[in-house]
């Protein structure tokens, strides 16, 4: 069974940051897709005042559907009363297009108030 959940195991975070050569200050969060306790894909992000900065999205399996699931989970579980936007590095152009991030000089940006996954169309 595939699960998507926040990674809180410090040893696993340490292993991922070392293996993928990620900077880690202790303030970043990790969310992962796993099956049988094996990480298939993961994402590193940080919450900065009123926005989320996605720092890294793995590409272990080369399966965009898993990455899509990570981003959707992050978007669906974000409290839009305090978080207003999500920033994505330029490297992730495909994901930016799929989720309608807008292009800015050094990053892509998604305003959460503009995000609609199609689940509530026609409902008031």
Instruction: Render pLDDT for 53-80 as a digit per residue (tens, 0 to 9).
Output: 999 999 878 888 888 889 888 888 887 7
Distance CA 51, CA 49 (A): 6
| pLDDT band of 121, cuts 50, 70, 90 | very low
**Which tokens go with 97?**
């297009």
The residue assigned the tokens 């992000």 is: 45
Distance CA 35, CA 48 (A): 30
**Across residues 8-31, what is the average pLDDT?**
95
51 in any annotated domain: yes
124 in any annotated domain: no
When divided into structural domains, the chain yields a total of 1
The mean predicted confidence, pLDDT, of the chain is 87
46 in any annotated domain: yes
Cβ(82)–Cβ(50) below 8 Å: yes
Span 36-47, pLDDT tens digits: 989 999 999 999
| pLDDT band of 117, cuts 50, 70, 90 | low
Q: What is the pLDDT of residue 120?
A: 47
């Amino acid at each position: 069974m595939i699960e998507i959940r926040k990674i809180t195991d410090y040893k696993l975070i340490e292993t991922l940051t070392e293996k993928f050569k990620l900077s880690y200050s202790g303030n970043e969060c990790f969310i992962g897709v796993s099956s049988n306790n094996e990480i298939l894909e993961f994402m590193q992000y940080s919450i900065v005042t009123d926005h989320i900065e996605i720092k890294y999205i793995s590409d272990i399996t080369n399966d965009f559907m898993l990455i899509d699931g990570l981003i959707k989970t992050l978007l669906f579980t974000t409290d839009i009363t305090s978080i207003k936007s999500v920033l994505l590095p330029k490297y992730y152009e495909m994901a930016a297009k799929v989720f309608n991030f807008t292009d800015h000089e050094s990053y892509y940006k998604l305003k959460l108030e503009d995000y609609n996954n199609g689940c509530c169309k026609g409902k008031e």
